[in-house]
Structure formats: C-alpha cells, structure tokens
Amino acid sequence: MALLEVRSIGVRFGGVHAVDGVSFSLHQGEILGLIGPNGAGKTTVFNTISGVRRPDAGTITFDGRQIDQLRPHQRARLGIARTFQNLLLFSDMTVLENLMVPVDAFSRRGVISDALRLPSSRYEEERAVERARAVLHFLGISGAATTRAGDLSVGLQRRVELGRALCLRPTLLLLDEPAAGLDARETAELAALLPRIRERFDLSMLLVDHDMALVMRVCDHIYVLDFGRIISEGAPQTVRDDPAVIRAYLGEQVA
C-alpha cells in the first residue's frame, strides 16, 4: 500500500478551482515529483498535505490514516516535515536553535522542568543539541551553527531549512521548490544531496518544482499539474516527451 494517498482533492479560492480532482500516490522510499507551470496549483496541493490548508473535497491518507482534517502540528507528529518555497526560518535564532525546535516539539520538557532545570530537561537539551549538530554535520554546514539564520545567504538558508525538517525525523519530506533562488552549481549539489538524504534518513520525498532540471534528475516518478488537474504522469523520460506536457510549458504549438 502507498505511504501517501491523495484521492481526488479539490481546493477552491472563491469561485476559482485552484485544484480540481487531483489524485496520486507516493510509495515508501520514493522521490515523487509534482511539476507544472506557475499557477498550476502545485503549492496548493502541497499545502493540503502539510496541513496549511484543508482541502474542500477529497481525502488524503498517510500511513493508513486519514489526515486531511488534522492540524499541521498533528501531521508533523505523524512524521511529515516540509520546507517552504519562500524560506520560513526562525530568522532571529541561530542555525543550531532552528534545528533544535523540531526536537523540542517532540520532547516532553515543560515549563516546570525547564524553569527548575531538572535533570530531565538538561538531558533533553543535550540530546537536542546532539541531533541538531549531527544533521548540520551531514549537510556540511557545521560552521554556521552559531550564526543568526537570517544572516545567511539564500543557498545556506535553504540548506538550514532542509536540516530543520530532517531534525523532525520525518518519514515523508515535502520539499516546496527547494531549488528556487539557487544558482546552477548549488542546484547540482542539491540534486546530488537529495538521494543521499533518502538513504541516510530512510524517508520518502515529495518534490514540487516548476524547474524541470532538478526534478528530472532526482525523481523516480513524476506527476504534471496544469490548471489544477493532473495532465500527465510517469517516469521522467516519459513525462518529458509527452506532448501534453510540452504544450503546458511552451503554450499551444503553432502548426
């Protein structure tokens, strides 16, 4: 059975059907791509999975559980983590603190144990630092640990966001245009990094992007979205040669 099942979901903004009857499934260990031109509804689909927006129709099941009505933090607790297209780091906090937040979210420390600095709190603090440092090391950005997140370049911030999501120990990682704002070299590095992340953290990924380059390189399977509907699906090669996809990206071909 698929890890994530999206069944004919619909989202309306006023009278506009931003997403209309979209279905797809993502299997354990897969890197799934969701592509389409700007305004196709990719981010909207993405938001219904991470819980930022509830779908108006349809169902989403994750790991055998229906999740479409759950709140974002409840989905995070089930093992779904995400990054943001427009970078939402906690910019006033250090990189290390950013990565500690998802570890904190899962720890049982509360106001009383923290205020009194009980041994349990100190232990959990060390554990959070350890986990955050291990992820920073894996991503090769240990040097930035004590830097204020907002002071980093866009490329590094993307990496920190990735690290923050990984600290949640997700089974499903949702990446919203992770290559946006990256130059060609950084994009190539990211393309090499994503499969390594899958091996190391044993997770599945849903990758949303309008840039074909990254998606073609790393995805096992691709769905193409246009005007809120799936217009094509298949292996990267199949999708790239599909006339419907070419039309969507380049406009109606002149005969």
13 part of the interface to another protein, by CB under 8 A: no
HSE (side-chain half, CA atoms, 13 Å) at 196: 10
Annotate 9-29 with b (16+ C-beta within 10 A) or e (fewer): bbbeeeeebbbbebebbbeee
Determine the Cα–Cα distance for residues 158 and 98; give it in Å rounded to an integer.
Answer: 12
**Which one of residues 27, 65, 66, 105 is an interface residue with another protein (CB under 8 A)?**
105
**Which one of residues 44, 50, 187, 232 is an interface residue with another protein (CB under 8 A)?**
50
Nearest to another protein of 152, 248 (CB atom): 152
Token representation of residue 179: 């290559």
130 part of the interface to another protein, by CB under 8 A: no
CB of 158 to another protein, least distance (A): 14
126 part of the interface to another protein, by CB under 8 A: no
Q: How far, in Å, are 19, 68, 79, 143 from residue 72 at the CA level?
A: 20, 10, 11, 31
Nearest to another protein of 114, 186 (CB atom): 114
Determine the Cα–Cα distance for residues 239 and 254; give it in Å rounded to an integer.
Answer: 21
Nearest to another protein of 115, 254 (CB atom): 115
Among the listed ranges 4-12, 69-77, 198-206, 229-237, the one in contact with another protein (CB under 8 A) is 69-77
185 part of the interface to another protein, by CB under 8 A: no
- Name which of 239, 15, 56 is nearest 45 in CA terms: 56
What distance lies between CA 12 and its chain's CA centroid?
22
Specify the length of the chain in residues.
255
Three-state secondary-structure class, residue 27: coil
158 part of the interface to another protein, by CB under 8 A: no
Nearest to another protein of 51, 228 (CB atom): 51
127 part of the interface to another protein, by CB under 8 A: no
110 part of the interface to another protein, by CB under 8 A: yes
152 part of the interface to another protein, by CB under 8 A: no
CB of 195 to another protein, least distance (A): 24
Determine the Cα–Cα distance for residues 190 and 198; give it in Å rounded to an integer.
Answer: 12
76 part of the interface to another protein, by CB under 8 A: yes
The burial class, CB within 10 Å (0-12 / 13-18 / 19+), for 204 is: buried
137 part of the interface to another protein, by CB under 8 A: no
Among the listed ranges 62-70, 109-117, 190-198, 246-254, the one in contact with another protein (CB under 8 A) is 109-117
- 237 contact partners, CB below 8 Å, separation of at least 6: none
Token representation of residue 40: 């196709």
Q: Are 98 and 123 in contact (CB under 8 A)?
A: no
CB of 248 to another protein, least distance (A): 29
Which residues of the shown chain bind another protein in the complex (CB under 8 A)? 50-52, 71-73, 75-77, 81-82, 84, 88-93, 97-98, 100-102, 104-107, 109-111, 114-117, 121, 124-125, 128, 164-165, 168
